[in-house]
Amino acid sequence: MTSTPTRKVGARDRLVSAAERLFYAEGIHAVGVDRLCAEAEVSKRSLYQHFSGKDAVVTAMLRAQAAKSVALFAPDGASPRDRILAVFDALDHEADSSDFRGCPFLGAAIELKDLDHPAVRIAREQKLALTEYFAEALRAGGVGDADLLALQLTLIFDGASAYSVVQGGSTPATRQAVETLLSAHGI
């Protein structure tokens, strides 16, 4: 058996989980494969049987984060306006937790510094997905130029994430900015 619907937690999954924790908390370059394997309770040899190298682990880890994040977006019942604000409320809440280190996709992209790196590609797609989530809600709310406003909201999202990394915690300015932008477009 190579892969069944209900999968046992194997070495691969434990590696990805450990990678999510460690790379996010301490940085990709700051965590070596030995540390990673030890924390995942996986032999070093197993890592290289599942992945072609550290980069592949990084990519898999970001992919796993992306899969979880898209699910997080949508509290589907609410109004378009609330569906948008919910994202920022969630971000503010996370930003006030002590172990928040900013958006993991943005963090990885900044640390890797290579637009062509597969992990950065995932980060890019993830940001586009967030923008599309905003755009969809805006269209449902009857906003013209939904794409442009959605991009502006993404800017604020990443700005708020950056704020929490540099200053620590969240700021009411985030929600204020979002509400001003939404009001200005009649929603």
The full length of the chain comes to 187
* Tokens 């930003």 belong to residue: 95
Report angle CA 167, 103, 173 to the nearest 5 degrees. 45
Q: Is residue 7 close enough to count as binding DNA by CB under 7 A? A: no
Distance CA 140, CA 126 (A): 21
Integer CA distances (angstroms), 116 to 68, 121, 151, 162, in order: 23, 7, 22, 23
* Tokens 């620590």 belong to residue: 168
Residue from 16, 154, 186, 187 that binds a second copy (CB under 8 A)? 154
Residue from 105, 134, 138, 143 that binds a second copy (CB under 8 A)? 105
Kindly state the greatest CA–CA separation across the chain: 58
Stretch that binds DNA, among 9-17, 60-68, 130-138, 158-166 (CB under 7 A): 9-17
Residue from 50, 81, 121, 175 that binds DNA (CB under 7 A)? 50
**Helix (H/G/I), strand (E/B), else coil: 10:** coil
Q: Are 63 and 69 in contact (CB under 8 A)?
A: no
**In the complex with a second copy, which residue's Cβ is closer, 16 or 22?**
22
Q: Is residue 158 close enough to count as binding DNA by CB under 7 A? A: no
Q: Are 53 and 61 in contact (CB under 8 A)?
A: no
- The entry of DNA, a second copy, none that residue 119 binds, CB within 5 to 8 Å by partner kind: none
Residue from 53, 75, 142, 169 that binds DNA (CB under 7 A)? 53
CB of residue 89 to a second copy, shortest distance in Å: 16
Report angle CA 101, 40, 67 to the nearest 5 degrees. 55
- Name residues contacting DNA, limited to 27-46 (CB under 7 A): 29, 31-35, 41-46
Interface with DNA (CB under 7 A)? 1-2, 8, 10-12, 29, 31-35, 41-46, 48-50, 53-55
Interface with a second copy (CB under 8 A)? 25-27, 29-30, 101-102, 105-107, 109-111, 113, 115, 120, 123-124, 127, 148, 151-152, 154-163, 165-168, 171-174, 176-177, 180-181, 183-184
